[in-house]
Structure 1
């Protein structure tokens, strides 16, 4: 722990006893020079690995030129990144911000303002989200989140959100009413336990949106930018959301968020309706362009699909006889190992074995490695995970 740690608010609790000083690809090194295999990518952020050359070179060039002018002026790479996103998605217009929470906040504001100002239906402002979802830490996005733990102590919460059970279309139908304007969900609930949306459920969600004239908002903060085996997770389901949001993997670690929407929504975000001082700045969009071009040019979404299938199959096979493991599931390189007990101690033990993973809820070990991770590194990680879980299972029966 550094000397300045006591100058920080303790909102992150007791951090892991590690301080990293260098990163490259799927490797991190701590202050003592110990090398770690990174299977969490800074919570699904460093999709190209740590300090990727494709991004570093462009960032260095931009740093020597210009950092900030504000959105009162044209920012060429902001426009280029927006064009890349719309050309490779179902969206038509982009708003840039600094984080996933801000992107989801923008999506919530856009949905409300579209119904209020464009459709002339101010009474329709309610958004249906789902239990075990996670949408951010701003006051609106934590209220939209389907987990009570993030809301503790922040009452009164803003009205306008109701919650349905995930993958339950019948329950969802019952919640749609005269106030409903949108349905917001993740294709894979990352923080909620790596829970995948069922295809039939998504089919019914889209049908309900069409039937009732609702907007469909897809939170792609964790699943977007190639992680699930498609550039965007909604593509697995053959749908076109009205709005989708991005952040984590878009900037290779540079703070950036994006909200992408359909043409019909453009009028709702008229001049002065929303903004961000730092959103879409020179550095973040330079990183975004370099990251997205690399993923597209090197077909890394396809690589993530292949490597993800390999990891799930190998883990399922090698952990099949382990009574501690309930299920291995995932989509692309967003993978969960559900256990029969809390996994916090297992995450720490894996760190001690120089393998970095993260939890997804109390009982799920989450893997979110770089899209460029090698098979050799994958096999090494699987071997360590198998060994740690085997020892834990053996200890449990003694």
Structure 2
């Protein structure tokens, strides 16, 4: 029995079955490459679901985490430390406007903080309901799940503690009709991630900003996947000119270390009072040191430009392929979906793995690419060269 198969059997025996059994046991990584437990190499085009901004074992991340864990690994929220202050200041500087930060451990926890801010705002101003989008994804904890417009993962855990009204994503008219003076907050992704990397129509986010400003509702931008350079901008909303009242971050911010952030602007920056929210591990010194290393490296190494260049190359290359299984490509930067003509994304994922590439069967007809921001043109080209064969193998696979 191979080492990978043995690990998968041990996983199945030890873990709850909510993930099923993953198809691959990974053992190590370097740059954009990973190796499985049996020594086979793959080009990682998933990036830990848009998390591994600097790839694997990046020297800057290794040095920052090693130095910090050897200095001060944990403090709780009873004490402060310099890395968390530096990170909060850095994020506010990158956002370019005054705000205040709450640090958490993950994206869903960042969104839970945003939900509590919106509840507080709603009670202060006599507003009782939320608006979110169909097929939107904001997390699996109950507050975030209440805002997630995917019935398949949402409905079995209701009823929920907040009143949420769902509208079609990208429909500014439906959003305008749904948001009244009684709405506390609108939760939107600048691009819907788990729905299949679905970007909004031109002007939609600006319309959402105008609607919220006119009615007094908070605009909450969930940038768990889209921020920290993923689209070629520090934050995706900056390219659309739609500044939110609350912003949530996670995934790529820590480069592989667990961290999330909720940023409030204007009134939303000061809605929490002492004791209103907290986290034992939020703002952990090691995770903050990792996040600072990620931000420093993206800036120093010009990775925003690399994201635009290589992301554009990937998008153009996929669009140029003519195959009956491939409909097209959508997304921004290094956050793309190859859109299929048939629901065969699982077969594409399997064929890609056999060819030495890791991709993600995100929706039945959409395959996600979210590689590290350090991916090179040569690495991207190797995937494009292999993609026609991958599609053909998936097309004929039973």
Scaled by the length of structure 2, the TM-score of the pair is 0.94
Uncovered stretches (5+) of structure 2, i.e. residues with no partner = 1-7
Shift of 1:225: 0.4
CA distance in 2, matches of 1:267, 1:168: 31
CA distance in 1, matches of 2:307, 2:128: 37
CA distance in 2, matches of 1:360, 1:2: 25
CA distance in 2, matches of 1:69, 1:14: 35
* Bigger mean CA deviation after superposition, 124-133 or 227-236: 124-133
Shift of 1:4: 5.0
CA distance in 1, matches of 2:120, 2:388: 50
Is 1:334 the counterpart of 2:330 in the alignment?
no
Match of 1:68? Answer: 74
List per-residue Cα deviations over 1:178-215 (Å, max 9, x = no partner). 43111111111111011101232122111111110111
* Bigger mean CA deviation after superposition, 60-69 or 277-286: 60-69
List per-residue Cα deviations over 1:54-102 (Å, max 9, x = no partner). 1110111111122112111112100100000000104511100000000
Shift of 1:351: 0.8
* Distance change (3 Å), C-alpha of 1:144 and 1:189: same
* Aligned positions of 1:227-306 closer than 5 A: 227-306=230-309
Shift of 1:340: 1.7
- Three-state SS of the structure 1 residue aligned to 2:330 is strand
* Distance change (3 Å), C-alpha of 1:285 and 1:2: farther
Shift of 1:328: 0.8
- Measured on the aligned residues, the alpha-carbon RMSD in Å equals 1.5
Shift of 1:2: 4.8
* Distance change (3 Å), C-alpha of 1:264 and 1:197: same
Match of 1:370? Answer: 372
Match of 1:12? Answer: 19
* Bigger mean CA deviation after superposition, 260-269 or 287-296: 260-269
2:148 to 131, 145, 150: 145
Moved over 4 A (4+): none
1:313 to 316, 322, 330: 316
Scaled by the length of structure 1, the TM-score of the pair is 0.94
Question: Does the Cα contact within 8 Å between 2:105 and 2:259 map onto a contact in 1?
Answer: yes
- Three-state SS of the structure 2 residue aligned to 1:193 is coil
* Distance change (3 Å), C-alpha of 1:195 and 1:4: closer
Shift of 1:345: 1.6
